[in-house]
Amino acid sequence: MATLAVINACKLSSHALQTCFNGRSALQRVCDFAQNLCGTGKILVLSEAELPVPAGICLQLVQDPTMAAILQACADFAQPQVGTDALVYLQADAPFYDQVLCDSLLELHHKYRSEYTFADGYPPGYAPELLHPRILTSLVQLAGRNNIASDRDGLFTVLQKDINSYDIETILAPRDLRSYRFSPVCDSRRNLQAALSLWKLNKISAQDCVDWLPEHPELLRTLPAFLWVQITEACAQNCSYCPYPQMVGDPRLLSASMPLDQFGRLMDEAASACDELAVDVSLWGEPSLHPDFAGIAGRVLQHPHVTLLIETSGLGWDLDLVRSLMNKWSKRIHWIVSLDSSDEGMYQKLRGDGLAEARDFAEYMSRSWPEQTHIQAVRMQDNEENLENFYRGWTKTTEKVIIQKYDSFAGSLPDRQVADLSPLERMPCRHLARDMAVLLDGTVPLCKHALQRQNGKLVYPERLANVFIEGFSASWQRLEAAWQAHCTRAYPEICEKCDEYHTFNA
Ligand code: SF4
């Protein structure tokens, strides 16, 4: 039986072309892998632009790289190759495809005459996905009906739309590594650093990763993935379960905001250091109350690999401004509208006035930009009884409903949690590995959650840096000592009281 390989190089990052693996790039290593597997004449690279591929490998340009277009190209490529039962689908930015794992997948694929074979539980970039060419026509139709982007999970996303129609086989990793969010592929500066760390250690096989990663959490901290910024101290509500009023008093009476030029310089530094980043402008305060929110959004989104997250009460928005932002950047702005309850009385108790305006805004956003808008409730003892109604009600409008765990902010607020979701075994904090928080004056605390009660007020006891004085990268480095302490299980006292260490923002 013949084997074909298709390498998806659409939307390829320039990091995948850097020759940093003994003079080879990620793309070259993937081509080498495919050539070892299939020989010449059996490999197709799909890309939006010309790429340097070795002789014997066919390059096809794809103008509009949706999954439908990718799968159509796969079908056209496989159609004349009679007797092929495995099409190996690879990503061009993954330098560590594993031959042993691939051989096991092929064996399983052949043995059970599978239509789709994949490995689960490994970080991205070790295992290819295998397709039987006979399902390509139906996959093209399925992808076309659902308009699915050709990103790393695109193929599985297509199959999920009608998963019971296909014969699927899976190899499970000996240890499930998905929760680490470790991604040694060359799609961002952060992930390239992770890949290079493994390369320098000569730990590049899938088995190495299974053995090594859980014992070496230090590999997980490279560059920030998620930046919280407080752009205003004003808030439209004085929520009863939120620590912010206990930090500053009634935030409805406050008005100071981060100046636009200062925020812009922070974004320039952050984008230059990280390249790809998610920026959440809702650390504290209501972003709609910033006097120049259009300017704030523009300073974030002028950097092409940075996305903007807006967590909001849904109050105070100028809909003309929202429409103009979404018309310009819809795919790169994500909204979370915090409602907490659909019941007027409970809403009043938790958040105060404003349910009608907040609900109208949430409905408008969900209908207008369903992929970009999430509706959120924090799950706590107070609203537990209402939560099912909330969930059922909103899922009639949108699939994107978030039930967020209650946060006691390192034990500084009463425990209103309904269920303990902590893992049995504690791990180094994901927030220290991936996030940085910046307050209005540029202060960088240990993290968003590390609050302490002092003289009746909530404060950040540790203020480790100031981005406006020390700069973005130096501030990130100031968090390294706390991360190293976590890696040796020497948790600071404030972290001992916190149960947010296993949660992720990005
Ligand atoms: S354990 Fe909690 S307090 Fe400590 S850094 Fe992580 S999120 Fe912050």
Mean pLDDT calculated for residue range 17-31? 97
Give pLDDT, residue 442.
98
| pLDDT tier at 432, thresholds 50, 70, 90 | very high
Cβ–Cβ under 8 Å, residues 442 and 468: yes
Atom of ligand 1 nearest to the CA of 495: 4
Rounded to an integer, what distance in angstroms lies between the CA atom of residue 352 and that of residue 250? 12
Whether residue 1 is predicted with pLDDT greater than 80 in this model: the reply is no
The CA 502 to ligand 1 mean position distance, Å, reads: 9
| pLDDT tier at 210, thresholds 50, 70, 90 | very high
Rounded to an integer, what distance in angstroms lies between the CA atom of residue 345 and that of residue 355? 10
Determine the residue type at 182: F
Rounded to an integer, what distance in angstroms lies between the CA atom of residue 397 and that of residue 412? 36
Cβ–Cβ under 8 Å, residues 9 and 45: yes
The CA 224 to ligand 1 mean position distance, Å, reads: 15
Top mutation candidate among 407, 483, 501, 505 for ligand 1, by most atoms within 8 Å of CB: 501
Mean pLDDT calculated for residue range 106-115? 96
Rounded to an integer, what distance in angstroms lies between the CA atom of residue 205 and that of residue 98? 6
Mean pLDDT calculated for residue range 320-324? 98
Q: Which residues, in sequence order, are bridge partners of residue 84?
A: 2
**Atom 4 in ligand 1: residue holding the nearest Cα:** 495
Top mutation candidate among 447, 448, 452 for ligand 1, by most atoms within 8 Å of CB: 447
Whether residue 244 is predicted with pLDDT greater than 80 in this model: the reply is yes
Rounded to an integer, what distance in angstroms lies between the CA atom of residue 359 and that of residue 381? 22
Atom of ligand 1 nearest to the CA of 503: 7
Which pLDDT tens digit goes with each residue over 46-71? 999 999 999 989 999 999 999 999 99
Phi then psi dihedrals of residue 391, to 5 deg: -65, -50
Q: Which residue has the tokens 């070259």?
A: 28
Please give the C-alpha separations between residue 345 and each of 72, 223, 237, 354, in angstroms, as whole numbers. Answer: 54, 44, 15, 12
The CA 407 to ligand 1 mean position distance, Å, reads: 11
Atom of ligand 1 nearest to the CA of 494: 3
Mean pLDDT calculated for residue range 421-428? 89
Rounded to an integer, what distance in angstroms lies between the CA atom of residue 466 and that of residue 197? 29
Mean pLDDT calculated for residue range 23-31? 97
Give pLDDT, residue 31.
97
- Listed residue (324, 253, 327) closest to 289, CA to CA: 253
Counting residues of the chain whose pLDDT is more than 90, the rounded percentage is: 93
| Cα 441 versus chain centre, distance | 27
The CA 450 to ligand 1 mean position distance, Å, reads: 6
Whether residue 421 is predicted with pLDDT greater than 90 in this model: the reply is no
| Cα 151 versus chain centre, distance | 13
Rounded to an integer, what distance in angstroms lies between the CA atom of residue 119 and that of residue 122? 7
Give pLDDT, residue 82.
84
Whether residue 132 is predicted with pLDDT greater than 80 in this model: the reply is yes
Residues in the chain: 506
Mean pLDDT calculated for residue range 102-122? 97
Residue extents of the structural domains in the chain = 2-213, 226-496
Buried b (16+ CB within 10 A) or exposed e, 81-116: eeebbbbbbbbbbbbbbbeebbebbbebbeeeebbb
Query: CB under 6 Å to ligand 1: residues?
Result: 410, 429, 431-432, 446-447, 449-450, 494-495, 498, 500-501
- Listed residue (83, 81, 82, 95) closest to 43, CA to CA: 81
The CA 483 to ligand 1 mean position distance, Å, reads: 10
Whole-number mean pLDDT of the chain?
96
- Among the ranges given (26-40, 322-336, 416-430), the one the predictor scored with the smallest mean pLDDT: 416-430
Rounded to an integer, what distance in angstroms lies between the CA atom of residue 414 and that of residue 226? 27
Give pLDDT, residue 482.
96
Mean pLDDT calculated for residue range 389-403? 95
110 token code pair: 């052949």
Whether residue 81 is predicted with pLDDT greater than 90 in this model: the reply is no
Contacts of 308 (CB under 8 A, 6+ apart): 278, 279, 281, 297, 300, 301, 329, 332, 333, 334
Whether residue 446 is predicted with pLDDT greater than 90 in this model: the reply is yes
The CA 464 to ligand 1 mean position distance, Å, reads: 14
What is the dotted CATH code of the domain comprising 2-213?
3.90.550.10
**Atom 1 in ligand 1: residue holding the nearest Cα:** 495
Give pLDDT, residue 114.
97
Rounded to an integer, what distance in angstroms lies between the CA atom of residue 197 and that of residue 113? 38
Q: Helix 67-78 to helix 136-146 angle, to the nearest 10 degrees?
A: 170
| pLDDT tier at 249, thresholds 50, 70, 90 | very high
Please give the C-alpha separations between residue 427 and each of 190, 347, 451, 485, 495, in angstroms, as whole numbers. Answer: 21, 35, 20, 11, 11
The CA 500 to ligand 1 mean position distance, Å, reads: 6
| pLDDT tier at 245, thresholds 50, 70, 90 | very high
Phi then psi dihedrals of residue 424, to 5 deg: -65, -35
Whether residue 455 is predicted with pLDDT greater than 90 in this model: the reply is yes
The CA 501 to ligand 1 mean position distance, Å, reads: 5
Whether residue 282 is predicted with pLDDT greater than 90 in this model: the reply is yes
Torsion angle of the four alpha carbons 67, 73, 77, 80, in this order, in degrees rounded to the nearest 10: 110
Give pLDDT, residue 107.
97
Please give the C-alpha separations between residue 169 and each of 106, 110, 424, in angstroms, as whole numbers. Answer: 10, 10, 30
The CA 419 to ligand 1 mean position distance, Å, reads: 19
- Helix, strand or coil for residue 499? coil
Atom of ligand 1 nearest to the CA of 450: 3
- Helix, strand or coil for residue 103? helix
What is the dotted CATH code of the domain comprising 226-496?
3.20.20.70
